[in-house]
Amino acid sequence: MSNATYAPAGRPSHPILTVALAAAIASLSCVAIAQTTGADKTPMAVTPAAAPAASGYSGVRASKVIGMDVQGAAGKNVGKIKDLIVNLNTGDVRYAVLEFDPGFFKSEKLFAVPLSGMKFVSDDKPLVYKEITRAQLDKTAVDKADWQKAVDNSRYVSALDQNYGYKPPTGEARSMRASRLLGKNVDNRAGKGVGEVKDLVLDMGANKVHYAVLAFDPSLFSREKMFAFPLTSFTTTRDKDDLMLDVDRNTLQSMKNFDDTHWGRLNDLNRDEFINRPVPKR
């Protein structure tokens, strides 16, 4: 497992991190959770999930991963992926926000787990939830009523790094929910709209966003075009909410296209033929 990709934001003190799980979850047989003693409060690292051996590259759309079923160790579905936490600076997908089915965990809570703690087979198969300590899950619980606000809080993400034993990186890092990125408008440096994020293509073997697909509408009477860029080509505006791509509309139309037919064969493509080079950040 690689080092953390999120910047520290001070010692975590957000109240959402202190919510305890019900004691009944310790006896669940269909979710493999390592038991910890009361005296042992040292976080245990999650065992990384092995990358699929077939090709070494497993491309899948983020829109498909969100909502994907998750199985426990006994092979039974235990919940779904509610969202993903993406680092815009590096493209790393460190955490998945997991919603357990009623009867497994308290249904009003969501939990953040490392994506590397889940085994990916294919985009039409459930992810497999691997062993994570109960103490670690306990510290990630957030209420469904305000989970989006919680996940957007850098203190929460920093606390996840500490909880799972990741070393914080140096410098600034910006994280965002994948669901916020999907459909998000993108402007160029002049403030002119250049399109919206159609989808993110994840490399599940590396737990990264390999590239983002930008949908561009040249005019009211023209067919939508798509262009692929590494996620690191995009920057956030000063308020750290809007996305910017340093390219004008005319230049964009002359770049390499991402074709609709690519969606159905992401693993078989020569990606150098359609991913445009990163736009320099200034």
DSSP string, 207-275: TEEEEEEEEE---TTS--EEEEE-GGGEEE-TTS-SEEES--HHHHHTSPP--GGGGGGGGGS-GGGTB
The answer as to whether 279 is a domain residue is no
Instruction: Identify whether residues 122 and 171 lie together within a single domain.
Output: yes
Q: What is the pLDDT of residue 202?
A: 97
Q: What is the pLDDT of residue 32?
A: 37
CA distance 273 to 260: 14
The answer as to whether 8 is a domain residue is no
- What CATH number is attached to the domain comprising 263? 2.30.30.240
Instruction: Identify whether residues 140 and 221 lie together within a single domain.
Output: no
Domain stops at, among 156, 175, 194: 175
Give the Å distances, CA to CA, from 116 to 47, 173, 182, 232. 8, 20, 22, 21
Instruction: Identify whether residues 233 and 101 lie together within a single domain.
Output: no
Q: What is the pLDDT of residue 173?
A: 66
Instruction: Identify whether residues 189 and 122 lie together within a single domain.
Output: no
Beta bridge partners of 71: 77, 128
CA distance 118 to 70: 9
Alpha carbons within 13 angstroms on the beta-carbon side of residue 186 total 29
Domain boundaries, position 255 = 178-273
Give the Å distances, CA to CA, from 66 to 32, 127, 146, 270. 22, 11, 18, 26
Instruction: Identify whether residues 83 and 163 lie together within a single domain.
Output: yes
The answer as to whether 93 is a domain residue is yes
Count of structural domains, the chain: 2
Instruction: Identify whether residues 46 and 167 lie together within a single domain.
Output: yes
Q: What is the pLDDT of residue 36?
A: 34
Give the Å distances, CA to CA, from 213 to 14, 150, 164. 34, 27, 31
The answer as to whether 103 is a domain residue is yes
pLDDT, averaged in runs of 10, over the chain (282 residues)? 37 36 33 36 35 64 96 86 92 92 78 91 87 83 90 89 79 83 92 94 94 85 86 81 88 92 92 81 51
CA geometry: angle at 200 spanning 122 and 60, to 5°?
10
Q: What is the pLDDT of residue 85?
A: 94
Q: Which amino acid is at 79?
A: G
Domain stops at, among 175, 196, 211: 175
Q: What is the pLDDT of residue 213?
A: 97
